[in-house]
Chain A
Amino acid sequence: MSLLDTARTGQAIRRSAPSAAPSVRLHGARLAYGHRVLWDELDLDVAPGEFLAVLGPNGSGKTSLLKVLLGLQPLSAGTVEIAGRQVRRGNRSVGYIPQQRAMDPTLTLRGRDLVRLGLDGHRWGFGLPSARRRARVDEALDAVGALGYADAPVGLLSGGEQQRLRVAQALVGDPDVLLCDEPLASLDLAHQRAVSDLIDARRRATDTAVLFVTHEINSMLSAVDRVLYLVDGRFRIGTPDEVMNSATLSELYRTEVEVISVQGRVLVVGAYQDDDPHHVAEPRTSGAR
C-alpha cells in the first residue's frame, strides 16, 4: 500500500501548515426525512487542499450531503459552514461536478459555452464579449486538455471528454471547495483515472478542498486523504486504511464484510445483501455501493 503511505504523508504536511477556518465544517449535523435519519451527529472538518472520498450504499445520504453544502437542502439539526461562513445557495467559492449524463447531439452548446456558464452563467444580462473572460475560459479548457474540442457541440463528445469539460466548468471560478457527485460513474477506467488525476493535481496546486462522492474508490485511492463512509445512518471517518478494513466495515454494515487488497486495489466482499453478487468479482468494484 505504498500509494496510501504517500497520500498520508502529503496530508500530514498540509495539515502542519497554519491554516484559517476549515474549508468545510459540519458540527452535530443531522439530516432526516420524516422518521428516516440519513446521518446524525456528524462532525467533519475538511482542511483546504484535503481530498475526502464519500462512500456508502445508495440512499445513505451521500448526495444529500452535497446538497446541504450547496445550500439546496437545510440540515435537520447542527451547523454547516463553508470557509468559516454559513452555507448559502449560489456560493461562488463552491464548485460542483455532476455525474455524466447523455446530452442531446443537437443541443446548441459548445464545450466553451459549458465552461463559460460555470464562470458567469449565474449572472443577469446578456454578457457582452470580453477578452478577459475568453482568456479565463481558454485557460480552464487548456488545464483539462479540452482546447482541441472546445468548439464542438457537447452532445457529440464522449463521456470522458464531457467530464473533462465539467471539471473545467467547476474550476473556472477558482472555488475553495469542489463537490463531486460521482463524476466518474459511466466512464471507463482510463478516463476515470484521467479525470480524478486532474482533480487531484488541481487541489494540490491551489489548496482546493475536494469532497468526492463515489461508488468506486480505487481509481482515486492514491489521492484520497480521508474517507467518510456512510451506512444506514452510521458512519466512519478516517484514512482509507482506518476505514477500508474488514473490522470497521463489518461494524458499519453490521454483517460480515471482508476487505481484500489486491495489487493496490481495495475489494470489499459481502457488503451487498441483495445486490448483484457477481458484481464483486469485477475489477472496478470496491463494494462501496
Chain B
Amino acid sequence: MSFGEIIDRLFSFAGTGDLLSLDFVQQSLIAGALLALIAGALGPLVVARQVSFAVHGTSELTFTGAAAALLVSSSLVSIGALVGAVAAALVFGLLGLRERERDSVIGAVLAFGLGLGGLFLWLYPGRSSNQLSLLFGQIVAVSRNDLWLLGGCAAAVLAVLALVWRPLLFASMDADVARARGVPVRALSMVFAGLIGVATGLAVPTVGALLVLALLITPGAAAARVTANPVTALLLATLFAEVAVIGGIVLSLAPGAPISGYVTAISFLIYLGCRAIGAARLRGTGRRALSTASA
C-alpha cells in the first residue's frame, strides 16, 4: 500500500454526513462527550498529584474486572468494569499513600491484574472482537442504557468534584500546609481515588483500557503547560479532551477505523502544541525573573 493510499484510507469523509445522522453514532458522540467532560475535569489534578501511573494501573485492572464480568454475561461488562476500577483505585489509594512505595505497589498489582484479565479472556467462549474492544474500545456499541449510566455517573463525579474542589486543590498542591490547616488530606486522597475509579470504569468499556490515559492525563498535562491558573487548567483540559474525543470519533466514521488512534493522535498533537507554547512562555518569564531578581 502506498503512502497516498494509507492517507486516503485514514482520512476519508465520504459518507461522514450520513453516518452522523445515525442513532448509534449520535449515542457514541454523546458518550464520548460525557467521558471527555469528567476526564478533562479530573486531568489537571491527576497531573498535579503525580498519579498518572495509578490511573494507568486502574485502567488495566478495569480491564480485568470487565473481562471477569464478560465470563458471566456480556451484559455485565459495564458494571464489572466500574466495580473493578473503583476497587483498584481505592486499593492504590490505600497502598500508595507512602510516596516511595507507590510506583512499585502499582506495578506489582497491575501486572498481576493484566495477566489475570488475559486468562479470563482466554476462558471466554465468545467472539474475540468483544475481547479486543476492552483494550482498544468499542464506542460505537454504546447502548441507551449505557448512556443513562454514563450520564448519571458523570453528573455524580462532577458534583463530588465541585463539593471537594477547594480542599482537594489545597491537598493536591500544598499538602503540608493543607494538613496544618486541618484539611483531611488522607480522606480526600481516597475521595479522589474513588472519582478516578468511576471515570476509568466508565471509560474502559467505551474507549478501551489503553485509551483512558489519552483522556485522563494528556489533556491535563497539556493544560498545565500553558496556564498556572487552576480553574483555567480545568476548563482547558476539558476542552482539549472534548476536541480529541469528538474529533476522533468523527474522523474515524468514514474509514470505519478504530477511534483510539484518532483520539490519541489529536490528544498528543494538542499536548505537543501546548508544550511548545509553554516553552516560549517559560523563556519569557525567565527574562522577567532575571529583571526582578532583586525583589
The chain A residues found within 8 Å of chain B, CB to CB, are 70-72, 88-91, 96, 98, 105-110, 113-114, 117-118, 120-127, 145, 148-149, 151-158, 161, 166, 169, 179
If A90-B182, A113-B229, A127-B166 touch, whether A156 touches B289 (CB-CB below 8 Å) is yes
The chain B residues found within 8 Å of chain A, CB to CB, are 44, 47-48, 162-167, 169-170, 173-174, 176-183, 223-225, 227-230, 233, 278, 282, 285, 288-289, 292-293, 295
Complex CA distance for A157 and B288, rounded to whole angstroms: 10
Evaluate contact between A121 and B163: CB separation under 8 angstroms. no
Evaluate contact between A117 and B174: CB separation under 8 angstroms. yes
Additional A-B contact list (18), CB under 8 Å, known A90-B182, A108-B47, A152-B288: A96-B177, A96-B181, A108-B229, A108-B230, A109-B174, A110-B229, A117-B166, A121-B174, A121-B183, A123-B167, A124-B166, A124-B167, A125-B163, A126-B162, A127-B166, A154-B228, A155-B228, A166-B177
Evaluate contact between A117 and B169: CB separation under 8 angstroms. yes
Complex CA distance for A74 and B170, rounded to whole angstroms: 24
Complex CA distance for A108 and B229, rounded to whole angstroms: 6
List the A side residues contacting B173 at CB < 8 Å: 107-109, 113-114, 117
List the A side residues contacting B228 at CB < 8 Å: 107-110, 113, 151-155
- Interface majority SS (helix, strand, loop, mixed), chain A: loop
Give the most central of B162, B176, B180: most A CB within 10 Å.
Answer: B180
Q: Which of A71, A98, A107, A126 contacts B176 (CB 8 A)?
A: A98
- Interface majority SS (helix, strand, loop, mixed), chain B: helix
List the A side residues contacting B285 at CB < 8 Å: 152-153, 156
Evaluate contact between A127 and B229: CB separation under 8 angstroms. no
Q: Which of B183, B230, B233, B282 contacts A122 (CB 8 A)?
A: B183
Complex CA distance for A158 and B288, rounded to whole angstroms: 12
List the A side residues contacting B233 at CB < 8 Å: 108
Could you jot down 9 A-B contacts, CB within 8 Å? A90-B183, A106-B47, A107-B228, A113-B229, A117-B170, A122-B181, A122-B183, A145-B295, A152-B285
CB distance from A242 to the nearest CB of B (A): 31
Complex CA distance for A145 and B292, rounded to whole angstroms: 12
List the B side residues contacting A89 at CB < 8 Å: 182
Evaluate contact between A169 and B177: CB separation under 8 angstroms. yes
Complex CA distance for A71 and B181, rounded to whole angstroms: 10
- Name the CB-closest residue of B to A112: B229
Evaluate contact between A158 and B162: CB separation under 8 angstroms. no
Complex CA distance for A124 and B169, rounded to whole angstroms: 11
Complex CA distance for A111 and B48, rounded to whole angstroms: 16
If A96-B180, A156-B282, A158-B289 touch, whether A121 touches B170 (CB-CB below 8 Å) is yes
CB distance from B38 to the nearest CB of A (A): 16
Evaluate contact between A123 and B180: CB separation under 8 angstroms. no
Q: Which of A91, A122, A158 contacts B170 (CB 8 A)?
A: A122
List the B side residues contacting A123 at CB < 8 Å: 166-167
List the B side residues contacting A98 at CB < 8 Å: 176-177, 180
- Name the CB-closest residue of B to A164: B295
- Name the CB-closest residue of B to A120: B166
Complex CA distance for A157 and B289, rounded to whole angstroms: 7
CB distance from B1 to the nearest CB of A (A): 41
Evaluate contact between A121 and B169: CB separation under 8 angstroms. yes
If A108-B233, A109-B230, A126-B162 touch, whether A121 touches B181 (CB-CB below 8 Å) is yes
Q: Which of B170, B182, B278, B288 contacts A106 (CB 8 A)?
A: B278
Complex CA distance for A106 and B293, rounded to whole angstroms: 20
